[in-house]
Structure 1
Amino acid sequence: MSEKQEFDSRLQAVLRRVYGEQIALASANRLSGGASQETWLLTLSGTGAPDTLILRRAPEGMEATDDSRAIGLPNEARLIRKAAATGVAVPEVVHVLEPDEGVGEGFIMSRVEGETIARRILRDDEYAKAREHLPAQCGRALAGIHRIDGSDVPRIRESTGLAQVEQYEQTYQEIGVCRPIFDLAIVWLKENAPKPLAPLLVHGDFRLGNIMVDEQGLAAVLDWELAHYGDPREDIGWMCTNSWRFGQSEKRLGGFGDVEPLLEAYAEAGGAEFTPRDIDWWDMLGSMKWGIMCMGMYETFRSGADASVERAAIGRRVSETEMDLVNLLEGQRHA
């Protein structure tokens, strides 16, 4: 029996544990993921179960470690279930993998129909109505996320805005490349840090690419592995970061809308009342963070640690974030 056949056999046993012996795994096809985390489309036959499901897994030996920013897939599943209980649109978690099942660490969830590719969401006519609805829908979703009590979920850490500035400054210094606009942005962020708010659960990577969108708008919030306790403005500012507008820079919110409708819906759904200027600092933080991440990805390519074209291509985007930081700093100077 091949390794793939053994994997399929174990996965079928898991599905039968959940749905009964009448279920068979027709196919398991890997969709995406890196070396440490994978996404699979499962097609089932038989009665009493959905036709398709999604498996998120880390193979044995590739689980998130304690020093990782990721909370680990079992904890991600717990947060998704909590999000569903607060009314946030998420996939249904149908099973969390057990160690004795031999499939790795992860969970099986429902398949949500829609689109995650930003270029299509922002440009295709079939998502025109969705783009109108998304700002308010995202505001309501974030209000729900920020209400989640994750106190009983392990490995959710606290990360304030200033702590992230210090973290990424250290990474920048370790990379050892002098890019003056990042030095200036770091100084500005330290000198203009807003008064911190009481930490709430934040998604940590709320943006196009990590939400499922259908023709009516927000269908599901995905990819919760970077959830942590922090300032709720962080999630809003991250979606406003110019890199996540995917070329539609005139629309501050994700390239699809204005931030004001999100802020209004967020407050109406029980979140705090913020103004667009309250998000400016977090917008700057987002561009600084992503730029330094891009530097790090190029460094892994340059060093040979990961010689993939993807790492090199992302590394080239540092210059985009430099221009974003110039524009943001100029905007603050004239504000």
Structure 2
Amino acid sequence: MADSDEVARPQVSNRDLAEVHDQLVAWLAGRLPDGADPQISELSIPATNGMSSETLLFDASWTEDGAERTERCVVRMRPAAEAKPVFPTYDLDKQYRVMTLVGERCGIPVPKLLWNEPGEEALGAPFFVMRRADGAAPPDVMPYTIDSWLLKADAAEQRRLQEASVAIVADIHQIETTPDEIAFLQLEQPGDTPMRRHLNDLKAFYEWGMEGHPVPLLDRGFAWLEENFPEDTGDDVISWGDARIGNILYVDFTPTAVLDWEMAAVGPRELDLAWMVFIHDFFQDIATRYGGLPGIPNLLRREDVYGQYASLTGHTPKNTQYFEVYAAIRHGVVMARIAHRQAFFGERVMPENLDETVLHRTLIEAMLAGTYWDDLPAADAGTAEAPEAAE
């Protein structure tokens, strides 16, 4: 197996949860009608997914119109600056707005939003509260390719989950909006297209996150992305940003909630599609390379994801190699930043070779060498084609 500090769940908060509990009770009392007398359970942190925004779980009860009301709640809040956050900015209001928009415009199961608090007075940071949905996500730690309910499922169940997940991405991308309605999702970096702004935003994140200690492999990756930037990145849509099965809750392999919208932006369709494919490759590589295990090799294969998407939307994904490299570099920046957080919390020692902060470095090296796709079907080499008939 890989070193434990590479695959163990990093610490995500240094807040006093008892203090946050009392602050939440006081805040709820101010939001609810007089006499509501809100009570909440002890706060807990999700154990297997999510390492950027702080996520807390609790049950709340109060009196409303003479009746007792209860809610199973999730609070998402901006991490404290002194906790060395993963990302440089956390726009919780943007997340709340995009979840509202998506929930109103298409049928995917976005969690019910309960309250939005853009100020910092209550908890010291902006936050919002949503209803906790039933279901479970395939875990990140340990990866679902090593041990999980999804690994133990049969092929038909895995296929059902995959197809429902790809359909979610397709539904998001087919939401019709005006430029004004999604202006808040446009990234603020310079660039003449959303994809150029996306790349410049990723570069800015990298420069901030490495704190003056660049990762040579990622530098090479950014050079490749510039040299191979596509002439045509297609039409732009609402990009979920963190489109992966680990951000979806399922009951009986059917999605019940689509989570984690902090990376949402305007951009090409392939941003989400390649991210979904690559993140599974990443977890599959952990299982096979580091664990000597079979993983789930038939899940989220390129030809299946890209082909189903084309069948659902009429859009044939293109430049898929480029967007998969982009996903790998993007994930590499996140992993390297998480390594800085782990060192800050005393969970690891930073290596002399900073390439070692990127767990999937061998995958990136193969991509940059052009050998990563050697064993893939010809249709995957640059443009995926829709299947002749749906299975």
Give distance in 2, aligned partners of 1:331 and 1:5. 48
Number of the residue aligned with 1:27: 41
**Structure 1 residue 233 displacement after superposition:** 0.2
Number of the residue aligned with 2:61: 44
Amino acid at match of 1:210: N
Which aligned pairs between 1:298-317 and structure 2 lie closer than 5 A?
Answer: 298-299=339-340, 306-309=344-347
Aligned residues: 320
Give distance in 2, aligned partners of 1:35 and 1:201. 21
Give distance in 2, aligned partners of 1:77 and 1:285. 26
Give distance in 1, aligned partners of 2:294 and 2:272. 17
* Partner secondary structure for residue 41 of structure 1: strand
Which aligned pairs between 1:182-201 and structure 2 lie closer than 5 A?
Answer: 182-194=218-230, 195-201=232-238
Number of the residue aligned with 1:156: 185
2:162 counterpart of 1:123: no
Amino acid at match of 1:211: I
**Structure 1 residue 123 displacement after superposition:** 1.8
Write the deviation string for residues 184-216 of structure 1: whole angstroms up to 9, x where unpaired.
433433333322223221011112332222222
Q: Which has the higher helix share?
A: 1
Contact 2:247 2:260 in 1 (8 A): yes
318-327 or 87-96, larger mean C-alpha shift: 318-327
Write the deviation string for residues 128-174 of structure 1: whole angstroms up to 9, x where unpaired.
65421122212221122223438446742247445555555563697
**Structure 1 residue 26 displacement after superposition:** 4.0
Give distance in 2, aligned partners of 1:24 and 1:307. 34
Q: CA RMSD in A?
A: 4.1
Number of the residue aligned with 2:331: 290
Number of the residue aligned with 2:384: none
**Structure 1 residue 319 displacement after superposition:** 4.9
72-81 or 168-177, larger mean C-alpha shift: 168-177
Number of the residue aligned with 2:116: 96
Number of the residue aligned with 1:330: 371
Which aligned pairs between 1:61-140 and structure 2 lie closer than 5 A?
Answer: 68-70=88-90, 72-85=91-104, 86-97=106-117, 99=119, 102-103=122-123, 105-116=126-137, 117-118=139-140, 119=144, 120-125=148-153, 130-140=157-167
Query: Which of 21, 25, 41 does residue 9 from structure 1 map onto?
Result: 25
236-245 or 278-287, larger mean C-alpha shift: 236-245
**Structure 1 residue 92 displacement after superposition:** 0.9
Number of the residue aligned with 2:320: 279
137-146 or 31-40, larger mean C-alpha shift: 31-40
Give distance in 1, aligned partners of 2:356 and 2:119. 40
Aligned sequence identity (%) = 17
Q: Which runs of 5+ in 1 are unaligned?
A: none
**Structure 1 residue 68 displacement after superposition:** 4.5
Which aligned pairs between 1:192-271 and structure 2 lie closer than 5 A?
Answer: 192-194=228-230, 195-241=232-278, 242-245=281-284, 247=286, 256-270=299-313
Structure 2 vs 1, CA of residues 165 and 138 (structure 1 numbering), >3 Å: closer, same or farther? same
Give distance in 1, aligned partners of 2:286 and 2:94. 34
Contact 2:114 2:130 in 1 (8 A): yes
**Structure 1 residue 234 displacement after superposition:** 0.6
Normalised by the length of structure 1, the TM-score is: 0.75
Q: Which has the higher contact order (CA 8 A, sep 6+)?
A: 2
Write the deviation string for residues 299-335 of structure 1: whole angstroms up to 9, x where unpaired.
4555xxx23427969x886453220023332145896
Write the deviation string for residues 64-94 of structure 1: whole angstroms up to 9, x where unpaired.
xxx9454x22221221122122112211112
**Structure 1 residue 260 displacement after superposition:** 3.3
Structure 2 vs 1, CA of residues 286 and 255 (structure 1 numbering), >3 Å: closer, same or farther? farther
Contact 2:355 2:361 in 1 (8 A): no
Give distance in 2, aligned partners of 1:307 and 1:115. 28
Amino acid at match of 2:113: V
248-257 or 185-194, larger mean C-alpha shift: 248-257
**Structure 1 residue 229 displacement after superposition:** 0.9
Amino acid at match of 2:366: N
Give distance in 1, aligned partners of 2:323 and 2:295. 13
Write the deviation string for residues 235-254 of structure 1: whole angstroms up to 9, x where unpaired.
11111223254635799999
Contact 1:14 1:101 in 2 (8 A): no
Q: Which runs of 5+ in 2 are unaligned?
A: 1-17, 376-380, 382-391
Structure 2 vs 1, CA of residues 307 and 217 (structure 1 numbering), >3 Å: closer, same or farther? same
Amino acid at match of 1:309: E
